């Protein structure tokens, strides 16, 4: 019999003696790693240190879990296909108040903390902002006291490792799990059967109710692996639960014994493929099917786990929305709407209307894009073959939705087509964005501008039908990782200047404002920035063999490579600047290093071409003896969280130059500004709110607004005329298209540049002159150090509102109906 739950004793205090911790490290090294300290290698010490840290977190973890059960608190379940968590040891130690103690303990053992910390695997469980946001949210939920589980996939390889071969992106498998993961716990008792394909059986129950039974043709098992997520000062430890796919039968012995040694592993290989790679290329039908399988796999496993836990504690489902909040991070888990309905109706025998009320009351949906093509949709034949019962449910939801639209809202045929869950403009496709919208009680955008645009663009007609459903929750970042840990020099300076209160209340950064014009504080702020730039310059030299001058302005654009993010605009400006410097070397040019990093989707041809162009331009510019002392271009391969932690503190200028109206929010813009970089950007995404926060005089804004972009697109603007009217732009484009930077293949960029002449959908040409003028404004500011550092300091001082703690508190009170438990 299971004993009644009781709260554990209070966890250990933050401060511990280094000698005690050192003994524990040796103990773990000896008895858990199996190594004598005399022969232990750095990776052995790392594992021992992680195990000591993990054991400290477990005390808080169990206490928080028991407390949630005892008090019957409502839980949040955050479903995301990505969790870009990065390295965990430094993060956990800092939040437990043990970072300095562990550093001192390892020093007693003649072990360098930074050396072993650098060996920790950087978990490749995400692609970019979406996954990093999910990681920040998990840490903030623990910090502010929201009981939460994160649910995702335990990818064997995750996103690819990017190598640059002759300037081209090459995708290699990421092997972060090669030596295991000391942070995770295998929860073999939390295993669920996940079905695909098969048939649906119908029957009547008692002559009144309809009952359906799905008989899948194929099944796999989802097995849970749990990682503790530690909040600030150990306030709470929540759980990140990742699913691994296993076959029901690992090997068909009859086939193996018959000599079919490869075929006997077919089921095992199919299951393994489910959780092997993040975002399998979906250009082929097989790739699309694998992607849909992944999304259903983790959504179904998560919902089965949620309902099992709820039923175990409460024994009924009528209170589900009162005790459970399921948040869908983008459309990847949107199939949850149909799956939750299936589980409630078919497994737990709840009638459709009641199940629908429970589903809508439980689910919230976060939208991350205004691009219609980025709102996932699946061919109906694929969806119906793979998930036949879910297709029936979606058709039933759609029928009720469309009847209500016609009868209650007098919508036109075009408006009804717009809200339908089935897109019939070409081949019939299931619209996952619409499914998530109608199946959620709250739909939020991730920046004020983005949320307003949702109402008039992709969800215009659904918003008319459900006018109270869309709300805004501007994204945020966790300052623990993106200031305290990645920039300890600046954190120390701020602490020495205004005291430590900002460590617990980040909005106290505003106490720095009076020091913005103080020459001595400016000098100290500049020294910290220089130290961070020195470290980055060393990394670039070691990895790339390129020497960059820390005295130069570090101009950094790091993010996923996409045409709307306009790395191409930045590169073209570099080419134009290169021409100007060559033409007038006698002028007093501001030394500048342009740094790019980011990955392109494997099948995104133009994005991969932009990476090649960046490397071609870098090769030419960096080898020119006249220019290279003034301008250098660097593309850093394999951008990840650990690299970002070096780039963000070292940046002088943050490039946030997406086409207005196309970036939902951005979080890189917040990280750079918090660390004292000035932003050059369009009025897009969260740039709008950053401008309001830091002051319009402390950010460099250029380019068309979202309204102007839309007007140009609708009115058929002539990009050729725009290009011909700008001599600098015209000459730069001719040089690129003509093969100046690609003598081995003069036509390599003809198509890429031709697109700017033909349609310029992303307004690269239209914004070029404004962008170059803004860059020269940056040069002017840089030439006045006192003014530059004043603006940089004010950026840091005024970014406290963009903490993910604030974002999570808003989610908790306004969407989830939870009062955060920690102030």
- For residue 261, report the phi and psi dihedrals to the nearest 5 degrees: -70, -35
CA atoms of 40 and 32, how far apart (whole Å)? 13
Nearest CA-CA partner of 154 in 119, 111, 185, 114 = 185
**How does DSSP classify residue 112?**
-
Nearest CA-CA partner of 302 in 236, 360, 363 = 363
Question: Is 767:682 a contact under the CB 8 Å cutoff?
Answer: yes
Nearest CA-CA partner of 447 in 615, 140, 282, 686 = 686
Q: Which residues contact 577 (CB under 8 A, 6 or more apart)?
A: 592, 631, 772, 775
Known catalytic membership, residue 705: no
- The H or E element that residue 790 is part of is helix 785-797
Catalytic residue, candidates 385, 428, 464, 560? 560
Known catalytic membership, residue 559: yes
CA atoms of 158 and 126, how far apart (whole Å)? 7
For 703-722, b where at least 16 C-beta lie within 10 A, e where not — what string? bbbbebbbebeeeebebeeb
Residue 5: Cβ within 10 Å count? 12
- For residue 631, report the phi and psi dihedrals to the nearest 5 degrees: -135, 130
Helix axes 764-782, 727-737, angle to 10 degrees: 110
Known catalytic membership, residue 323: no
Runs of H (alpha helix) within 561-604: 567-583
- For residue 546, report the phi and psi dihedrals to the nearest 5 degrees: -115, 130
- For residue 689, report the phi and psi dihedrals to the nearest 5 degrees: -75, -30
**How does DSSP classify residue 803?**
B
Catalytic residue, candidates 463, 469, 565, 748? 565
Catalytic residue, candidates 667, 772, 796, 807? 667
Question: Is 650:676 a contact under the CB 8 Å cutoff?
Answer: no
Residue 392: Cβ within 10 Å count? 17
CA atoms of 719 and 296, how far apart (whole Å)? 43
Q: Which residues contact 810 (CB under 8 A, 6 or more apart)?
A: 473
CA atoms of 726 and 434, how far apart (whole Å)? 43
**DSSP strands (E only) in 197-236:** 199-205, 209-215, 218-230
CA atoms of 600 and 567, how far apart (whole Å)? 11
Known catalytic membership, residue 582: no
CA atoms of 759 and 718, how far apart (whole Å)? 8
Catalytic residue, candidates 56, 241, 310, 368? 368
Known catalytic membership, residue 560: yes
CA atoms of 512 and 325, how far apart (whole Å)? 38
Catalytic residue, candidates 75, 342, 632, 671? 671
- For residue 634, report the phi and psi dihedrals to the nearest 5 degrees: -135, 130
Catalytic residue, candidates 90, 236, 244, 559? 559
CA atoms of 56 and 12, how far apart (whole Å)? 8
Question: Is 677:651 a contact under the CB 8 Å cutoff?
Answer: yes
CA-based R_g, the chain, Å:
27
DSSP 670-739: HHHHHTTPEEEE-S-TTHHHHHHHH-GGGSEE-S--HHHHHHHHHTT--HHHHHHT-HHHHHHHHHHHTT
Measured in residues, the chain has a length of 823
Question: In Å, how far are 18, 23, 37, 570 from 105, measured between CA atoms?
Answer: 4, 8, 14, 46
CA atoms of 245 and 425, how far apart (whole Å)? 36
Known catalytic membership, residue 671: yes
**How does DSSP classify residue 233?**
G
CA atoms of 598 and 607, how far apart (whole Å)? 10
Q: Which residues contact 324 (CB under 8 A, 6 or more apart)?
A: 74, 75, 77, 306, 310, 362
Catalytically active residues, by annotation: 368, 559-560, 565, 667, 671
């Amino acid at each position: 019999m299971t004993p009644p739950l009781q709260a554990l004793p209070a966890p250990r205090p933050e401060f511990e003696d280094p000698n005690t911790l050192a003994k524990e490290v040796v103990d773990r090294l000896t008895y858990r790693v199996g190594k004598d300290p005399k022969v232990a290698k750095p990776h052995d010490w790392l594992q021992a240190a992680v195990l000591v840290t993990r054991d400290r977190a477990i005390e808080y973890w169990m206490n928080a879990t028991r407390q949630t059960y005892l008090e019957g608190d409502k839980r949040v379940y955050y479903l995301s296909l990505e969790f870009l968590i990065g390295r965990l040891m430094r993060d956990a130690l800092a939040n437990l108040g043990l970072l300095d103690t562990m550093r001192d303990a390892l020093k007693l053992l003649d072990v360098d903390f930074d050396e072993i910390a650098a060996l920790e695997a950087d978990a490749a469980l995400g692609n970019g902002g979406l996954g990093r946001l999910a990681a920040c949210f998990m840490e903030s939920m623990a910090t502010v006291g929201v009981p939460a589980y994160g649910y995702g996939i335990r990818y064997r390889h995750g996103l690819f490792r990017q190598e640059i071969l002759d300037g081209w992106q090459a995708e290699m498998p990421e092997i972060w799990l090669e030596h295991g993961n000391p942070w995770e716990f295998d929860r073999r008792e939390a295993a669920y059967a996940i079905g695909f394909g098969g048939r649906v059986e119908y029957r009547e129950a008692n002559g009144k109710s309809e009952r359906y039974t799905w008989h899948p043709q194929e099944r796999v098992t989802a097995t849970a692996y749990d990682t503790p997520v530690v909040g600030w000062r150990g306030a709470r430890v929540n759980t990140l639960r990742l699913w691994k796919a296993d076959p029901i039968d690992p090997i068909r012995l009859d086939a193996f014994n018959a000599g079919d040694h490869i075929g006997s592993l077919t089921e095992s290989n199919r299951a393994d493929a489910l959780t092997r790679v993040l975002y399998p290329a979906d250009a082929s039908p097989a790739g699309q099917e694998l992607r849909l399988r992944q999304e259903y796999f983790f959504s179904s496993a998560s919902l089965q786990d949620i309902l099992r836990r709820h039923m175990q504690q409460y024994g009924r489902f009528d209170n589900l929305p009162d005790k459970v909040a399921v948040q869908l991070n983008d459309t990847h888990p949107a199939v949850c709407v149909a799956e939750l309905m299936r589980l409630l109706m078919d497994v737990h025998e709840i009638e459709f209307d009641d199940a629908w009320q429970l589903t809508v009351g439980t689910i919230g949906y976060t939208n991350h894009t205004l691009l219609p093509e980025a709102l996932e949709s699946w061919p109906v034949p694929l969806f119906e073959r793979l998930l036949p019962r879910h297709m029936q449910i979606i058709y039933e939801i759609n029928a009720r939705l469309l009847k209500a639209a016609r009868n209650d809202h007098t919508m036109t045929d075009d408006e009804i087509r717009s809200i339908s869950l089935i897109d019939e403009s070409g081949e019939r496709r299931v619209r996952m964005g619409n499914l998530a919208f109608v199946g959620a009680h709250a739909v939020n955008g991730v920046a004020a501008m983005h949320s307003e645009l949702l109402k008039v663009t992709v969800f215009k007609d659904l918003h008319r039908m459900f006018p109270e459903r869309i709300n805004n929750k501007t994204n945020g970042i966790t300052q623990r990782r993106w200031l305290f840990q990645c920039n300890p020099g600046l954190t120390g300076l701020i602490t020495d200047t205004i005291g430590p209160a900002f460590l617990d209340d980040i909005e106290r950064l505003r106490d720095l404002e009076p020091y913005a014009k103080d020459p001595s504080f400016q000098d100290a702020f500049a020294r910290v920035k220089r130290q961070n730039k020195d470290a980055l310059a060393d990394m670039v030299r070691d990895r790339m063999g390129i020497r960059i001058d820390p005295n130069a302005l570090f101009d950094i654009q790091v993010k996923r490579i996409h045409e709307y993010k306009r790395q191409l605009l930045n590169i073209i400006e570099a080419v134009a600047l290169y021409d100007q410097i060559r033409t007038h070397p006698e002028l007093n040019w501001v030394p500048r290093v342009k740094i790019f990093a980011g990955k392109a989707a494997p099948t995104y041809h133009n994005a991969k071409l932009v990476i090649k162009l960046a490397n071609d331009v870098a090769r030419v510019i960096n080898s020119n003896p006249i220019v290279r002392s003034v301008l250098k271009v660097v593309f850093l391969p394999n951008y990840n969280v650990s690299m970002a932690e070096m780039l963000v503190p070292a940046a002088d200028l943050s490039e946030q130059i997406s086409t207005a109206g196309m970036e939902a929010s951005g979080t890189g813009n917040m990280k750079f500004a918090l660390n004292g970089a000035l932003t050059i950007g369009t009025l897009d995404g969260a740039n709008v709110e950053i401008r309001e926060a830091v002051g319009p005089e402390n950010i460099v804004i250029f380019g068309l607004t979202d309204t102007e972009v839309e007007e140009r697109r609708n009115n058929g603007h002539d990009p050729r005329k725009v290009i011909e009217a700008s001599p600098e732009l015209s000459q730069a484009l001719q040089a690129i298209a003509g093969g100046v930077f690609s003598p081995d293949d003069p036509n390599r960029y003809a198509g890429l540049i031709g697109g700017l002449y033909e349609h310029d959908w992303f307004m690269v040409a239209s914004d070029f002159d404004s962008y170059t003028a803004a860059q020269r404004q940056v040069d002017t500011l840089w030439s006045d150090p006192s003014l530059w550092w004043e603006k940089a300091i004010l950026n840091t001082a005024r970014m406290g509102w963009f903490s993910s703690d604030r974002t999570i508190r808003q989610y908790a009170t306004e969407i989830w109906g939870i009062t955060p438990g920690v102030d």
